[in-house]
Structure 1
Amino acid sequence: MPVDQPTPGGPAEREVERVGRRYAVVVRTAVLLSVACLTLLTVPLERSAVAVVALGLWSAFYWSRASRVLAVDTAVIALVCLGARWIDPVVLLHDSTSWVLVAVSITAVCHQWLCAPAPGFVITVVLIAAYLAGSAIADPGGWTASLPLGLWTFAEAGLSRGLRILVRHAGRVVDRGTAAGERVRREAEIAAARRADERAHLATMHDTAASTMLAIGTGMVTGRESWLAERAERDLRALSGRPELPKGQVDLVEMLDEIARHHRIGTEIRAAGPVRLPAAPAVALCRAAGEALENVARHAGVDTALIQVQEELNGVRVEVRDDGMGFDPASVPAHRHGLTMSIVDRMAEVGGTAAVRSERGGGTTVSLVWSDG
């Protein structure tokens, strides 16, 4: 007799099916053994012992192979029904206290969780027919009194099938809700990634080509500077998505010196010695420092700046200072990418922080801090 195939639904639906099947097998085995043992109290041992031992042995086998032996199990219970005349008092056959009726009822109910609807219907019909036939064998003149009990058993099996359908549907609803939540989360992550890419592209544009073109357009450079061609080439590589990023540990001071040598304002670097850092935070610190130098060149009204590098516990602090005209940081519009994207956000991406201290006429200090935990 065919049984259910593995549930094709989601995790929740599969889990409720698995638990339901296990519960059905446990209940079926426990109830059948219990009522069989009670037979010893109502039927002489010479009539009941063989049936009880046989059912006990069969239940042990059924426990581990329930879904594969439904047809055989149905046949076993049907044989018990047909032999009810010898193992169950006649007076109890037409009564709900009959242990044979309990065996039929619990088998019909629990097998609904172990097979598809069509086989479950067939199992129920076979069991009820066997129960009624056993009643007729035991009491040919009064077996019709068992008909209501047989119909009630059919109703119990139908209720069990309906419960399984409801539970499985609830699991399916949970899976759909989970899938919908996962779709929303995934779409939000995709949207966030796209925004991050856009912000990164804008930051790269701002740090590279926009700064170079602004310097040329405003006359800050003449176009004949020796470093301009190399800087333009580096800008093109960054915009094409092929920036030259170092790997492993790098010397932060050496990288800052490279930026300072190719910048259009004079920059002094003060450091006690080389500072070794992982590449990612080192690149972020250098790009943030480079943007700070761009801001000095554009807005400070001076042509020199100072970069001071100081190692701290598990990290480093880089400060870019100038003695220019200064400004009020609170008055900087949100759309000014130099502070928000190229400095603050860039440091946040690697777990660092950025702070700007300035006042009108008092110069500006940009503090960049990164710590490894």
Structure 2
Amino acid sequence: MPVDRPTSGGPAEREIERTGRRYAVLVRTVVLLLAASLTVFVAPFERSAPVVAVLAVWSAFYWPRATRVLAADTAVIAAVCLGARWIDPAVLAHDSTSWVVVAVSITVVCHQWLCAPVPGAVLTVVLVAAYLTGTAIADPARWPDLLPLCLWILAEAALSRGLRVLVVRAGRAVDLASAGAASTRRATEIAAARRADEREHLAAMHDTVAATMLAIGTGMVTGREPWLADRAARDLRVLSGRLDVPDGRLDLTELVGELARQSRVSVDFDSPGPVPVPAVPAIALCRSAGEALENVARHAGVTTARISLSHTDDVVRLEVADTGRGFDPAAVHPHRRGLSESIVDRMARAGGSAAVVAAPGRGTRVQLEWRAHG
């Protein structure tokens, strides 16, 4: 007997199918045994007891393998209908109080959850025909009176099938909605990752080639400085993606010290000693400080700056300060990327933060902070 076992569908649809089958088997078994047990009160014990015993044994066999023995289960219930005359004609009462009617009804209803529509319809017709035949054998004159009851049994089977279809469709709709939400979420994450890559690339452009070319173009350097070739080579490595982020921790004091030595302004670096920091935030802190030093060289109108590094157990603070002309942060054009992307956004992507404290004529302080989590 073909069984409706969906090989596709989402998790909600599959779970509904599994739950429906499980409850169909449970209800069919419990109701059948309870209904059959009632026959011992209305029929001679020596004839009713064997029927109850056989159905109990069959139910124990049926329970763990229901979907594989639907045809045999139908045959068992059909045999009960056909042999009802020898149990007791009273069990074929011409209304819905007969336990045989209950057995047929619950079986055809539950079969709709255990097999495909066509096999379910065939099994239903077989059981209804067996019930009518058993009634005709027991009471040839009155079996036509049971036709309306048989039509109701067919309607019960159709309603059960319709309920299953509706419930499964609801589960399918949930799966489609979940899949759509997951697709949207993936698209959003991909777009966010692309924007982050673009921002990082623009920040790298601003920190490297743009800064070097601006220094040359504005006459800040003559092109003969000994550090210029090394900086140009570093810029090319950054843009080609060959500056890989190492694993483990880096000494932020060493990184910032090297940055101070390569700076175009004189740097007074104050550090408490080695400050080990995970590689990603360490590089973000160092590059943000480097951009702050570039801003001092370009805009502050001074040739010196001060870097202060401090840390506690879980917080690292790095400040780049100058006593130059300063500026009004609120007046910075949004298209200027030095502060927004090279410093603020970079620190945010590394799990840190950046703040710029400045005022015209009062210098500038760029405050960088990274806090360890967990």
Q: Secondary structure at the match of 1:96?
A: coil
Q: Secondary structure at the match of 1:367?
A: strand
Aligned to 1:45: 45
Q: CA deviation at 1:188?
A: 0.9
- 1:252-263 correspondence to structure 2 within 5 Å: 252-263=252-263
Aligned to 2:89: 89
Q: CA deviation at 1:92?
A: 4.2
- Matched AA of 1:327: F
Instruction: Give every structure 1 segment of 4 or more consecutive aligned residues whose post-TM-superposition deviation is greater than 4 Å.
Output: none
Aligned to 1:5: 5
Aligned to 1:147: 147
Q: CA deviation at 1:240?
A: 1.1
Q: CA deviation at 1:7?
A: 4.4
8 Å Cα contact 2:92/2:135 also seen in 1: no
Aligned to 2:187: 187
Aligned to 2:229: 229
8 Å Cα contact 1:221/1:264 also seen in 2: no
The worse-fitting range, judged by mean Cα deviation, of 46-55 and 93-102 is 93-102
Rate the CA distance shift 1:183–1:322 in 2: closer, same or farther, 3 A. Answer: same
Task: State how far apart, in whole Å, the 2-side matches of 1:41 and 1:271 are.
Answer: 96
Q: CA deviation at 1:277?
A: 1.3
Q: Secondary structure at the match of 1:250?
A: strand
Q: Secondary structure at the match of 2:368?
A: strand
Task: State how far apart, in whole Å, the 2-side matches of 1:3 and 1:248 are.
Answer: 57
Task: State how far apart, in whole Å, the 2-side matches of 1:68 and 1:88 are.
Answer: 31
Task: State how far apart, in whole Å, the 1-side matches of 2:83 and 2:238 are.
Answer: 88
Task: State how far apart, in whole Å, the 1-side matches of 2:91 and 2:167 are.
Answer: 39
Aligned to 1:245: 245
Task: Mark the runs of 5 or more structure 1 residues left unpaired by the alignment.
Answer: none
Question: Percent identical across equivalent pairs?
Answer: 66
Aligned to 2:291: 291
8 Å Cα contact 1:310/1:316 also seen in 2: yes
**Aligned residues between the structures:** 373
Aligned to 1:197: 197
Q: CA deviation at 1:330?
A: 1.7
Aligned to 1:136: 136
Cα deviation, 1:138-181, whole Å, max 9, x if unaligned, reads 01121111221111111111111111111111111111111111
Aligned to 2:336: 336
Rate the CA distance shift 1:158–1:244 in 2: closer, same or farther, 3 A. Answer: closer
Task: State how far apart, in whole Å, the 2-side matches of 1:114 and 1:250 are.
Answer: 63
Aligned to 2:280: 280
Aligned to 2:364: 364
Aligned to 1:77: 77
Task: Mark the runs of 5 or more structure 2 residues left unpaired by the alignment.
Answer: none
Task: State how far apart, in whole Å, the 1-side matches of 2:244 and 2:264 are.
Answer: 21
Cα deviation, 1:218-243, whole Å, max 9, x if unaligned, reads 00011001110010011011111221
Task: State how far apart, in whole Å, the 2-side matches of 1:142 and 1:157 are.
Answer: 24
Task: State how far apart, in whole Å, the 1-side matches of 2:25 and 2:246 are.
Answer: 63
Task: State how far apart, in whole Å, the 2-side matches of 1:245 and 1:261 are.
Answer: 21
- Matched AA of 1:24: A
Rate the CA distance shift 1:7–1:311 in 2: closer, same or farther, 3 A. Answer: same
Q: CA deviation at 1:244?
A: 4.2
- TM-score, normalized by length of structure 1? 0.97
Q: CA deviation at 1:88?
A: 3.8
CA RMSD in angstroms comes to: 1.2
Q: Secondary structure at the match of 2:38?
A: helix
8 Å Cα contact 1:88/1:99 also seen in 2: no
Q: Secondary structure at the match of 1:231?
A: helix
Aligned to 2:164: 164
Task: State how far apart, in whole Å, the 2-side matches of 1:52 and 1:327 are.
Answer: 95
Rate the CA distance shift 1:19–1:244 in 2: closer, same or farther, 3 A. Answer: closer
- Matched AA of 1:189: E
Rate the CA distance shift 1:244–1:18 in 2: closer, same or farther, 3 A. Answer: closer
- Matched AA of 1:51: V
8 Å Cα contact 2:91/2:100 also seen in 1: no
- Matched AA of 2:220: M
